[in-house]
Amino acid sequence: MPSEAAAGPEKGPASDAFDIVIVGGGSSGCVLANRLSADPRRRVLLIEAGRDIKPGEETPAMLDIYPGRVAFDPANHWPALPAYFRPVAHNAPERPPLGRYEQPRLMGGGSSINGQVANRGTPDDYDEWERLGATGWNWQSVLPYFRKLERDLDYGGPLHGDSGPIPIHRVPRERWPAFSLAAEAALEAAGFAALGDQNGRFEDGHFPMTLSNDGVHRVSTARAYLDRETRRRPNLVVMADAAVTGLLWQDRCVAGVAIRGADGVARSIKARETIIAAGAIHSPALLMKSGVGPAADLRRLGLPVVHDLAGVGQNLQEHPGISLSAYLARAARLRGTTRRHIHLGLRYSSGCAGGLPSDMYMMVVAKSAWHPLGRQIATLLSWINKPHARGSVTLQSADLSVPPLAAFNHLADIRDVTRLTASVRFMARLLACEALAGHVAHASPSRYSGFAKALGRYGLRNFLLTAPAAVALDVLPFLRAPFFRHFVAGGMSLADLLASDEAIAAYVRDNAFGQWHACGTCRMGSAGDREAVINPVSGRVHGVGGLRVIDASLMPTAPRANLNIPVIMMAERLADAVIAGSD
């Protein structure tokens, strides 16, 4: 990924000229590096802004199939990425609070720290992409690449792969805690079908959560695609801790990249082709800083305009969600049967005006954090699978050291407010149903606040802070209600929240949070579509030679999925296009 303040590379390339330079070693970049360097005649350079933890050198937290330890480690994130989460109204006297959006910065990207949920989405997602101008991205066209990437350990047949780099696994029901089993019974009682395989049956229903691990260790793209054998290829150079500061131009063609090390020394690396795989925030930012983007915005910052592309940075999408939590009875808690904390998921249709089939998703969380308090808290988390609101990524300054600004505009569309409001009532009914009686108590709203984030960081201090409180909650029942009201819900009770739809709507507007599923900011489409940035057949940037973008920013719309597996699929598919020389 591009970086404005990164350490110098661990080692420099043997030559400053390559066939292909890949900017960003995330879920997409690692796939591309593997597939494109398979031909020994093609010299490939992979550049990553963060650390490169090689296979065999991972810490226990990085291999853990429970993601809470590695995900909250600030060493794995960009240090400062400002974002507006609430809608930004240009005529409002005040802007909403400015927050921080967590984005991974290490080899493997999101696949190295995410929740490992291996969700493809539904066929409708990809058929929709094609209808919106992404020619060749319908379900039948992408299915072979979903199969290519995976090694499903539970299911076979024409919908599943059996020899891909990424193992796909589901925690067996006999290892689920009592809470997860009771939640499954609650969904059955509510009329939802048991799908078994969420990536093979695409109607509404509940299912064991599909995971991108082997049941023992996390398997990131850094492990699966940049394994020891791949790294030994003499035609592949992996450069970590390196800052890409811009693109090199020769007329209207990209001829490589400019980089900078920790010592501040700039270098130029020439390449026949450059592929940006830096994600939905940093890919459009690098394009704009290099002169490709909305001309008026670039001129306003004093940046030269190489190519006017109005869609760069637009169409930002996320999956806004909301959660309710409750105290878990001792007998219902997760014990030592599995490290995983999410065993059960639900795909469902809101039925609200403007909603699409399976436009909602819910996860049943049996442990809300790694620390002793987290083990006592169950959470239901719902998000909008198909949001209507759109945001943008813009530059704050022409200064390369200033990060871009993401404005997500969560719930700017009333149809999103209505659906997330309904999800709060739905989750409240589930937590109060007969199947969960005796398993949970003191259900409350739960805010993904700075307090919760701070406690989420793994360490002795947070263990010592949470352990006494956890003991007190278990032995002193009268503390539970005030604890949930003040420390989990921020002073609000669930009864207060459910008093009216207006109260819920105000709450979700203030507290909806994304799932780290940013996408759409360099979307695919035809050259005649002014808002399209990328040729869907080749991944090439419209109107620019020698340059492709291959990552989540290409998505015309957010799929009904956690994005990691779809991004790997996209990289597999467009790697074939690069190899074939598609224009």
pLDDT of residue 55: 93
Give yes or no for residue 344 having a pLDDT over 70: yes
In a domain, residue 219? The reply is no
- Summarised one tens digit per residue, pLDDT across range 144-156 is 999 999 999 999 9
| 336 marked as part of a ligand binding site | no
- Summarised one tens digit per residue, pLDDT across range 211-253 is 999 999 999 999 999 999 999 999 999 999 998 999 999 999 9
Which amino acid is present at 535? N
Enclosing domain of residue 459: 172-208+321-386+411-511
In a domain, residue 264? The reply is no
Q: Quickly list DSSP for 163-231.
A: SSSEEEB---GGGS-HHHHHHHHHHHHTT--B-S-TTT--SSEEEEPPBSB-SSSB--HHHHTS-HHHH
pLDDT of residue 92: 65
pLDDT of residue 265: 76
In a domain, residue 484? The reply is yes
Q: What's the rounded Cα separation, in Å, for the pair 47 and 278?
A: 10
Residue 351's contacts (CB-CB under 8 Å, 6 or more residues apart) are none
Q: At what angle do helices 27-36 and 564-580 cross, to 10 degrees?
A: 30
SS (H, E, C) 102-171: CCECECCHHHHCCCCECCCCCHHHHHHHHHCCCCCCCHHHHHHHHHHHEEECCCCCCCCCECCCEEEECC
Tokens (6 digits) for 341 = 């904390």
388 carries an active-site annotation: no
Query: Which of the residues 282, 388, 517, 542 is marked catalytic?
Result: 517
- Name the band, by pLDDT with cuts 50, 70 and 90, for residue 3: very low
| Residue 92 exposed, middle or buried by CB count within 10 Å (0-12, 13-18, 19+) | exposed
pLDDT of residue 364: 98
What is the rounded average pLDDT of the residues 461-468? 91
Full strand arrangement of the beta sheet holding 392-394: 98-100, 82-84, 405-407, 392-394
- Summarised one tens digit per residue, pLDDT across range 9-49 is 334 454 578 999 999 999 999 999 999 999 999 999 999 99
| 516 marked as part of a ligand binding site | yes
pLDDT of residue 95: 80
pLDDT of residue 263: 67
What is the rounded average pLDDT of the residues 248-273? 89
In a domain, residue 45? The reply is no
Q: Which of 273, 279, 222 is nearest to 550 (CA)?
A: 279
In a domain, residue 372? The reply is yes
In a domain, residue 193? The reply is yes
Give yes or no for residue 58 having a pLDDT over 80: yes
Supply the mean pLDDT for the chain: 93
- Summarised one tens digit per residue, pLDDT across range 546-570 is 999 999 999 999 999 999 999 999 9
- Summarised one tens digit per residue, pLDDT across range 408-453 is 999 999 999 999 999 999 999 999 999 999 999 999 999 876 567 7
In a domain, residue 480? The reply is yes
- Name the band, by pLDDT with cuts 50, 70 and 90, for residue 108: very high
Tokens (6 digits) for 377 = 């808290």
In a domain, residue 451? The reply is yes
- Name the band, by pLDDT with cuts 50, 70 and 90, for residue 8: very low
Is this structure's pTM higher than 0.85? yes
Give yes or no for residue 133 having a pLDDT over 80: yes
- Name the band, by pLDDT with cuts 50, 70 and 90, for residue 93: low
Q: Sign of torsion, CA 216 222 223 224?
A: positive
What is the rounded average pLDDT of the residues 370-386? 96
Question: Based on the structure, what is the number of domains in the chain?
Answer: 1
Contact present, 383 and 331 (Cβ < 8 Å): no
| Residue 153 exposed, middle or buried by CB count within 10 Å (0-12, 13-18, 19+) | middle
pLDDT of residue 91: 67
Here the CATH number for the domain that contains residue 416 is 3.30.410.40
Residue of higher predicted confidence among 143 and 451: 143
pLDDT of residue 456: 81
* Long-range pairs of 149-153 with CB within 8 A, sequence gap ≥ 24: 149/31, 149/565, 149/568, 149/569, 149/572, 150/118, 150/565, 153/214, 153/215
- To which residue do tokens 């030679």 refer? 545
What is the rounded average pLDDT of the residues 518-531? 97
pLDDT of residue 5: 30
What is the rounded average pLDDT of the residues 371-396? 96
| 115 marked as part of a ligand binding site | yes
